[in-house]
Amino acid sequence: MIIRECDTKKVTSEKPRGGHGLIHGMQYLVGDQITNKIKIVMANDLEIGAMIGEHSHIDDEEFYYIIAGQGRVIDDGVVKEVSAGDLVYTGSGHSHSLENIGDTKLKFLAFIVEK
């Protein structure tokens, strides 16, 4: 199966997960389109200065693969900076947030997987 960008569902969220600013996403796969433990596959652009608020994952895990830009992650209360090529992994029972601290959009892929 090949899913082209033009066939994705475009979504924009304001103040994602209680954060601030805007995030624009393209849903490549979600819900019943997937027959394994992957819950969602999205490509995202986090606007300059925007932040996905800190949130926990229970019974699932989330991966962010950073494509471009500079970000700040709070990973279980520990602040870390991320950039292109980095992978952020948040396991079940853990929390994280992501803030764009750069001067361009923070581009990343997000995968949520059932535990």
pTM: 0.92
pLDDT at position 110 is 98
What integer pLDDT is reported at residue 35 of this predicted model? 80
Which amino acid, one-letter code, is at 59?
D
Strands 60-68 and 70-75: unpaired
Displacement of CA 31 from its chain's centroid (Å): 16
Q: What is the mean pLDDT of residues 4-23?
A: 96
Tokens at 61, concatenated: 């895990």
**Domain 9-114 is of which CATH architecture?**
Sandwich (2.60)
Quick one: how far is CA 61 from the chain centroid? 11
Give the domain ranges of the chain.
9-114
Instruction: Note the pLDDT tens digit of each residue in 30-76.
Output: 888 888 899 999 999 999 999 999 999 999 999 999 999 999 999 99
Supply the mean pLDDT for the chain: 96
Please tell me which residue, 67 or 29, carries the higher pLDDT value.
67
